[in-house]
């Protein structure tokens, strides 16, 4: 019989494994000539529906105070959708592994925001972590072995920055809302955002092939709903600090399956850069515990 801690670790590992497939499924969808707006609309529409069914099955209250609901809808419609747009756009130019590794600079941005806006103290370890992340990104981008598209780097750095805003504002404005309840409204508002963009620009594709429909459903189910639900199940058992550290397994999944399923590779310098980025994340998480 697994202990509570072991079960928590397993749940978070399942979450990290699931999140790691986000870029993989997106790449396969792009091979079917779907555009980004349609793919994101379908992902968030299906995700909001699945999350709604899940919350009803678990008897989770979806009632949210008017002030909190407004904040959640803004966070989903602007921040979460903006983060997703940057990530999925970057995949047009970068490999899944590189995209996911650079996305993991978001804890660095969160730390900088906490220092500037929340007046959190800056320590020697914090400085080391920030420098490690910067050097890591530099090694990934300016590797001699594999050319990296700077436009893609700009999109994923923007995605990382917007995601850090989403996390910071979530902690400040809606800290008392159940994350699963929040997930329903965030996904729904993000779907609405891409629906408006798609219909106003003519980018929304209505007639999807069966393969694209299934890929959109997989995007919504595995690296969205399952990843979120299992992370919070693990969070309840082992706490935020341990869960966030274990979740750094996600980029490893993206790199390994990017290689196995898409034939993507990383240079030695890029692997070293990825290690430095993840090391910076671990330092920052450890710093939060002290």
Tell the residue number behind the tokens 């274990």, with chain if given: 246
Q: How far apart are CA 17 and CA 213, in angstroms?
A: 22
Average pLDDT over residues 257-276: 92
**Mapping DSSP to helix (H, G, I), strand (E, B) and coil, where does residue 43 land?**
helix
Judged against a pLDDT cut of 80, whether residue 180 lies above it is answered with yes
Token representation of residue 98: 């590189």
- Entry pTM: 0.92
pLDDT in tens, 216-265: 999 999 999 999 999 988 888 887 777 878 888 899 999 999 999 999 98
- Alpha carbons 86 and 158: distance in angstroms, whole number: 6
Closest CA to 233 of 54, 80, 101: 54
| Residue 36, number of CB atoms within 10 A of its CB | 20
- Residue 288 is predicted with a pLDDT of 64
Query: Mean of the per-residue pLDDT values for the chain?
Result: 91
The pLDDT tens digits of the residues spanning 129-142 come to 889 998 999 999 88
HSE (side-chain half, CA atoms, 13 Å) at 228: 20
**Highest mean predicted confidence (pLDDT) among 75-89, 227-241, 270-284:** 75-89
CB-CB contact of 179 with 119 (8 Å): no
């Amino acid at each position: 019989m697994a202990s509570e801690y072991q079960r928590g670790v397993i749940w978070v590992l399942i979450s990290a494994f699931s999140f790691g497939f986000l870029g993989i499924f997106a790449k396969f969808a792009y091979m079917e000539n779907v555009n980004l707006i349609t793919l994101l609309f379908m992902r968030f529409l299906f995700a909001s529906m699945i999350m709604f069914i899940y919350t009803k099955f678990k008897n989770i209250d979806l009632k949210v105070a008017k002030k909190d609901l407004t904040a959640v809808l803004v966070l989903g419609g602007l921040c979460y959708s903006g983060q997703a747009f940057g990530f999925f756009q970057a995949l047009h130019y970068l490999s899944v592994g590189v995209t996911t590794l650079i996305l993991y600079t978001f804890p660095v941005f969160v730390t900088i925001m906490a220092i500037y806006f929340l007046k959190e103290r800056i320590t020697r370890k914090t400085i080391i972590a920030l420098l490690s992340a910067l050097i890591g990104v530099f090694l990934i981008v300016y590797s001699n072995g594999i050319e990296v598209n700077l436009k893609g780097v700009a999109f994923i750095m923007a995605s990382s920055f917007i995601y850090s805003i989403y996390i910071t504002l979530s902690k400040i404005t809606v800290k008392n809302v159940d994350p699963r309840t929040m997930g329903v409204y965030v996904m729904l508002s993000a779907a609405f955002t891409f629906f408006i963009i798609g219909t106003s620009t003519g980018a929304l594709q209505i007639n999807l092939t069966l393969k694209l429909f299934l890929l959109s459903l997989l995007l919504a189910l595995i690296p969205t709903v399952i990843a979120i639900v299992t992370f919070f199940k693990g969070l309840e058992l082992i706490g935020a600090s341990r869960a966030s550290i274990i979740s750094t397994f996600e980029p490893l999944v993206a790199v390994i399956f990017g290689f196995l399923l898409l034939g993507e590779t990383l240079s030695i310098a890029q692997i070293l850069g990825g290690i430095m980025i993840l090391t910076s994340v671990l330092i920052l998480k450890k710093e939060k515990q002290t």
